[in-house]
Amino acid sequence: MPRFSFHVQRGKFSDAPAIQSDLHDHDAAWRAGADICSDLIKEIIHSLTPAEPEWRVAVSDEAGKTLYRFRLIAETHHD
């Protein structure tokens, strides 16, 4: 079974070590990445600031190649 890594990042910095998981295929890795995002989004949304408006989860394969990236971006628009 292939191994996938899930990297949680806020702004320019990684908040935690990568989560490693053996999954059946790329579709399973996509679903696992989406599940991680849905579990964390309520906590993360309140920590976004104009100085660090982005949060993301990157899913990579065993070789370290990024397969998917889930991003949450807070944008500020002033008139």
Q: Mean pLDDT in the chain?
A: 87
Per-residue model confidence as pLDDT tens digits over 42-57: 888 888 888 788 888 9
- pLDDT category at 16 given cuts 50, 70, 90 is confident
Does the pTM surpass 0.85? The reply is no
- Of residues 47 and 64, more confidently modeled: 64
- Identify the helix (H) or strand (E) that includes residue 44: helix 26-45
Beta carbons of 76 and 42 less than 8 angstroms apart? no
Distance CA 14, CA 11 (A): 8
Name residues whose C-beta falls within 8 Å of residue 7's C-beta, 6 or more positions apart in sequence. 14, 18, 57, 58, 59, 60
Hey, what are 22's tokens?
């053996």
- Of residues 30 and 54, more confidently modeled: 30
Q: Which of 25-34, 41-50, 67-76 has the highest mean pLDDT?
A: 25-34
